[in-house]
Structure 1
């Protein structure tokens, strides 16, 4: 009886360990990716439902309405990857936090555009007009460069997207810049003469850089493409490589072009 009991106990224990091992292995096969809702999580959900199975990829998409926790959670291992940011943002985060997160692949650009509820042409901006711009350093610099690239203002030579209002060397129309939180600008469009709005916030406000903007950023050579990010050393994880391949696939390119109609541009 003792031998029989020992045999049964060993068999049950082996079965439990096998089940646990199988569960653990299954969990490790799933790539857990954090993303902001539009367009990042939408693109990932399209991949998860339409493309991932063919590549042998199990994808868990975790949505964050606020992008701030995404890099800390990736650092802490709560996420395997995230998809919401461009390289300048990641570089600044790594520098400020002493983090070691790595950029894997560019996917798309959410172009800044200059919009107006009152004007149909950028040349129609009147003297003394008020232009709303994002108040965070990265997007403020992008906004001012957009205006400079289209002849509205001139900037100190070489300053590029690091520009602030202090770097404006020419302002022939004596424009007044009104810095606002980027997410708030679409709601303030009627209160100003024109406004520079991020692509994702324009999309949420039913505005398109392709059809509604007076001028908009170009994708070519733009450093602000959003992409896939992982912890350093995980870039060659087979699951990460499968997702990177799918994010750059013709199917995803077609999905982005049809779903966002120019408000999101394939990088």
Structure 2
């Protein structure tokens, strides 16, 4: 896998996030009108989480984009709250970092008008710890770190419910669950909500923490080896996809990029690169 060359550090003042521009990147571009063709090449500025999304996009840029008449500018974001705002504002042409429950929550809360293409990959959520290696080792009153955004908070509680660590009240959708919706908690676990990106760095402060797949990768964690429990992927609603503005959903360049992200080449890249099970094709 070709490594990503990080050369330019952009501080997004007023947004409180840092974006790192890859070798394929340049200045922000595209604008609110969507990407346009120039000299036979359609340049698309895509916001993405550094791992694995930006790595998958880099593979497309290096191996597939030129023949399809595309050029990618890849702008990684480390904060889940920024890419949809950047897309809505026209700073980028598309983003690739989120799943359907997260997008639906953001649209409801912030009024975004965005369009999601089909799922590309799934990153199983996992429970990690610096001190225990088995779920049975959790002690009465232990503290667990979970994400504080609504989608990943519910998803984290759902992971614990899958393994019968807790149960969630009947009638509550897992994607909407909060700690107030816990019906049974046999070990009287306590839950501390943190920004999802902070949890891998904070594992030493808790008995365990629920970590998103991309943040596990960035922290050097190996899900198949180090996760105490790992999210089950049967019928998962958490596939990640390319997202664009609603007005741009029929843009030829964006549709072509989505097609490339669903090619057999990309599927093989995912399977051969993330052999620890941290990233699984969704098509």
TM-score calculated relative to the size of structure 2: 0.79
Match of 1:192 among 200, 206, 211: 206
The DSSP-based 3-state class of the residue aligned with 1:207 is: coil
The answer as to whether partners of 1:113 and 1:215 remain within 8 angstroms in 2 is yes
Query: Shift of the alpha carbon at 1:24?
Result: 7.1
Query: Shift of the alpha carbon at 1:119?
Result: 2.1
Q: Counterpart in 1 of 2:69?
A: 56
Alignment RMSD: 2.1
Q: Which has the larger radius of gyration?
A: 1
Query: Shift of the alpha carbon at 1:27?
Result: 8.4
Match of 1:31 among 9, 32, 44: 44
Between the aligned partners of 1:111 and 1:236, the Cα distance in structure 2 is: 31
Q: Counterpart in 2 of 1:125?
A: 138
Match of 2:168 among 155, 158, 165: 155
The DSSP-based 3-state class of the residue aligned with 2:58 is: helix
The answer as to whether partners of 1:219 and 1:265 remain within 8 angstroms in 2 is no
User: Structure 1 unaligned runs (5+)?
Assistant: 1-22
Q: Counterpart in 2 of 1:250?
A: 264
Between the aligned partners of 1:96 and 1:151, the Cα distance in structure 2 is: 31
The DSSP-based 3-state class of the residue aligned with 2:225 is: coil
Between the aligned partners of 1:179 and 1:96, the Cα distance in structure 2 is: 19
Between the aligned partners of 1:180 and 1:235, the Cα distance in structure 2 is: 34
Aligned counterparts, 1:100-249, within 5 A:
100-159=113-172, 160-249=174-263
The answer as to whether partners of 2:41 and 2:71 remain within 8 angstroms in 1 is no
The answer as to whether partners of 1:116 and 1:214 remain within 8 angstroms in 2 is yes
Q: Counterpart in 2 of 1:73?
A: 86
Number of positions where the alignment pairs a residue of Structure 1 with one of Structure 2: 245
Query: Shift of the alpha carbon at 1:101?
Result: 0.8
Instruction: Give a deviation string over 1:11-66, Cα, whole Å, max 9, x none.
Output: xxxxxxxxxxxx97338722222223222111111100111122232222233344
- Higher mean C-alpha displacement, 100-109 vs 74-83: 74-83
User: Structure 2 unaligned runs (5+)?
Assistant: 1-35
The DSSP-based 3-state class of the residue aligned with 1:34 is: strand
Instruction: Give a deviation string over 1:86-121, Cα, whole Å, max 9, x none.
Output: 222222222233321111121122221011222222
The DSSP-based 3-state class of the residue aligned with 1:41 is: helix
Query: Shift of the alpha carbon at 1:150?
Result: 0.5
Aligned counterparts, 1:8-23, within 5 A:
none
The DSSP-based 3-state class of the residue aligned with 2:233 is: coil
Query: Shift of the alpha carbon at 1:135?
Result: 2.1
Counterparts in 2 of 1:55 and 1:67: CA distance versus 1, 3 Å:
same
Between the aligned partners of 2:75 and 2:133, the Cα distance in structure 1 is: 40
The answer as to whether partners of 1:108 and 1:227 remain within 8 angstroms in 2 is yes
The structure carrying a bigger helix percent of its residues is 1
The DSSP-based 3-state class of the residue aligned with 1:263 is: coil
